[in-house]
């Protein structure tokens, strides 16, 4: 079994907030939590990825299970290099001046991202995943790790969030999936 990530090598994932209630109402936006310094010591936190929060320690961690209450990471990209787009940006635990922006997701929210993985035991390759998406037999769910996971519908049992998906082109002209939260 291999894990395939939709984000191309050498760049970071992006997210397009197409219709997110929290962005419109301000209710469900969190920006007072820093990255857990142990968990993110050697990892980056990319836009479109999922997180869990520790209210006591005011820290962000990656989900550990499909049933975790998750939040969507969608920070405004801080890029200061000419020609550098959103796919060159990710948050680090070392950045003490900038906290990630998290959104609570609710039914009917719509985002598009390439922060998605799938296992070749579920879908033999990217073409098989696209066929399943088109047929409506695949959804995305949280997983242990920050990316969304594309699974067969039956694999969504126990998920805290389920997203129906369709194949799309993101605003940075890369392929990804449009996720409509159930």
Per-residue pLDDT reduced to its tens digit, 5-35: 999 999 999 999 999 999 988 888 888 899 9
Q: What is the pLDDT of residue 181?
A: 98
Pairing of strands 175-181, 163-169: antiparallel
Q: What is the pLDDT of residues 130-170, one digit of tens each?
A: 999 999 999 999 999 999 999 999 999 999 999 999 999 99
Mean pLDDT of the 105-126 span = 97
**What is the distance between the alpha carbons of residues 51 and 73, in angstroms, rounded to a whole number?**
7
Higher pLDDT, residue 82 or 92 = 92
Quickly state the pLDDT bin for 115 (edges 50, 70, 90). Answer: very high
Max Cα distance, the chain (Å)? 45
């Amino acid at each position: 079994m291999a894990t395939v990530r939709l984000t191309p090598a050498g760049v970071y994932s992006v997210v397009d907030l197409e219709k997110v209630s929290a962005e419109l109402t301000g209710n469900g936006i969190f920006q007072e939590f820093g990255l857990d310094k142990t968990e993110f010591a050697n990892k980056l936190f990319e836009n479109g990825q999922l997180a869990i929060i520790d209210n006591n320690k005011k820290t962000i961690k990656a989900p550990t299970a499909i049933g975790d209450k998750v939040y969507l990471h969608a920070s405004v990209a801080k890029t200061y290099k000419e020609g550098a787009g959103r796919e060159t940006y990710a948050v680090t635990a070392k950045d003490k001046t900038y906290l990630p922006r998290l959104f609570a997701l609710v039914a009917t929210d719509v985002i598009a991202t390439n922060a998605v993985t799938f296992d070749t035991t579920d879908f033999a390759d990217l073409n098989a995943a696209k066929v399943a998406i088109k047929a409506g037999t695949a959804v995305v769910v949280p997983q242990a790790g920050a990316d969304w996971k594309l699974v067969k519908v039956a694999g969504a049992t126990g998920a805290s969030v389920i997203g129906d998906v369709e194949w799309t082109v993101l605003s940075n002209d890369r392929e990804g999936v449009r996720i409509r939260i159930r």
